[in-house]
Amino acid sequence: MKNRYWFKLVMLLILSIIVLIGCSDAASEGEGSNTDAEDAEAQETAVKEGKDLTIAVAANFISLDPHDTNDTLSYSAEKTMLEGLVGFDKDMNVVPVLAKDYSVNDDATEFTFELEEGVTFHDGAPFNAEAVKVNLDRLTAPDSTLIRSSLFELIEETEVVDEFTVKVKLSEPFGAMINTFAHPAGMLISPQALEEYGDDVSQNPVGTGPYVFEEWQPGDHLTVTKNEDYWNATGNEVDSITFVPTPENGTRVAMLQTGEADFIYPVPTEQAESINGTEGIIVENAQSIVVYYLAMNNLKEPFNDVRVRQAINYAINKEAFIEVVNNGFASPLDSIIAPDTQFYSGQSPYEYDVEKAKELLVEAGYEDGFNTTVWGANSSTAMNAMEFIQQQLAQINIELEVVPMESGTLSDSIWSVENPEDAEMEMYYGGWSPSTGDADWGIRPLVGGEDAYPPNSYNTAYYNNDEVNSLIADGLATGDPSEREQAYADVQEVIWEEAPWAFLTVDDTIFGKKNYLEGIYLLPDGSLSVENLEIVQ
């Protein structure tokens, strides 16, 4: 541990010198690994035998029922087999899928979908308005215990207008609802399968997608096969995809190098440069919508003083943080949401300025600093992040104790608190991805006032501002994109000035593939897309 500490300290000094002489442009511009993409692309195309692909992933799948799934990895597998009314394109824009068109009334309480015709589920059941109603009624049933029911709780009624038209009525205005329909939780299951399997549909998914469920042996592999009758076929020649959970980073990389796997994600950042451009491997990284931050408990002294919160923002060198913690595979966070999130509005950064930070602490009455704690996960990445922050805050006389916890303990410690005044958390290092791609889900759960305090939601900053709450409500009360954009722009400006967090990074997605693969990539939310997958030899 001592050697690790000194290594990081030396690294920090080196990076500080680099920043001072103005050579940190690559990190600040999100160039990530600085790998030579042209060299990687120029490799001779690797040879692929057959049309069966293997994808190595970092963890086990939990469920194949999109209505009862809470992890992005499981959604990635489900998306090969199931589809929703609408979905997201590569840039997280909402696009039609099983609905060829849709409309929204002015106050965002009625959503009407015109459906594709001639589509069938894998078991032969017809896709129509009644099938949509069965799925949404399942999600909104009063006694539902499905994990994702809460996303659809505002649905008051799903009305079958005709065979291929369905109208969804909400109990109150909700301008972000179309993004909720695009969330993977909105994917549709065959009504026939729901009736046949009941809760066991999580092991027997039946959708309308390009691949059909074949076999799942939890912890070992999940296999899907080509849907020969896919309604939206684009010439896909891949016969099957087998997902193999491979938690160990080195093993996952070795599988790609030897050809045992055709695609892996994530690629460990420390190995990305060394394998890119070798053995027919291409490593790709892109900015995600996953943000990392340091929440400060605004109900506790000294964090109830905005000057203290701003001082902490000035005291952390974001470019150095990215190099030390993320190996360059991230960008500085310049709002409460990431640039690829709908209605994002960038703010003027809190530049690294130790003297400015000290001045603010003096103004707030903390000339001699103070002691505090930070909670976070016990993973190596989280530990590195918190230790880096510890070293940075020491420069302004803040003595920070790092308290890493395993996931269950951390969750209980944060979300078991019923009375906000009883919360022991002072600072929390964590991350968030707005899985609907909309500003609402990137803002409201995290800073949306008392209603979002734990255990109700994820406002670990215990931040409550009447102006912010009102602006969030304005953004939800209309379906007009221009009105929503203005409301969320105003929210982001206020939040940035109020600084309930120290704003840190937007992490990259990063994957490795053999160079005979095209049309496979990770979306900004970290989920996998294979709808245009093909083998090119």
pLDDT digits (tens, 9 = 90+) for 7-55: 344 344 333 333 332 332 333 333 344 445 566 777 899 999 999 999 9
**Domains in the chain, start-ordered, CATH in brackets?**
44-59+210-283+511-537 (3.40.190.10), 62-206 (3.90.76.10), 292-509 (3.10.105.10)
Over the stretch 233-269, which tens digit does the pLDDT of each residue have?
766 679 999 999 998 889 999 999 999 999 999 999 9
Our CA angle for 453, 456, 458, nearest 5°, is 55
Measured from the Cβ of residue 304, the count of other Cβ atoms closer than 10 Å reads 13
Q: What is the C-alpha to C-alpha distance for residues 46 and 438, in angstroms, rounded to an integer?
A: 39
Q: What is the mean pLDDT of residues 192-202?
A: 96
Report the DSSP beta bridge partners of residue 151: none
% of the chain at pLDDT higher than 70: 92
Locate the DSSP E strands across 129-247: 155-162, 165-170, 211-217, 221-226, 240-245
Average pLDDT, the chain: 90
Cα–Cα distance measured from residue 133 to residue 138, given in angstroms and rounded to the nearest whole number: 8
Task: Please give the helix or strand (H or E) that residue 377 lies within, else none.
Answer: strand 370-377
Mean pLDDT in residue range 286-310: 97
Q: Which alpha helices (DSSP H) does 101-207 contain, by range?
A: 129-140, 177-182, 191-197
Give pLDDT tens digits for 130-189: 999 999 999 999 999 898 898 899 999 999 999 999 999 999 999 899 999 999 999 999
With a cut of 50, say whether residue 106 has pLDDT above it. yes
pLDDT of residue 142: 93
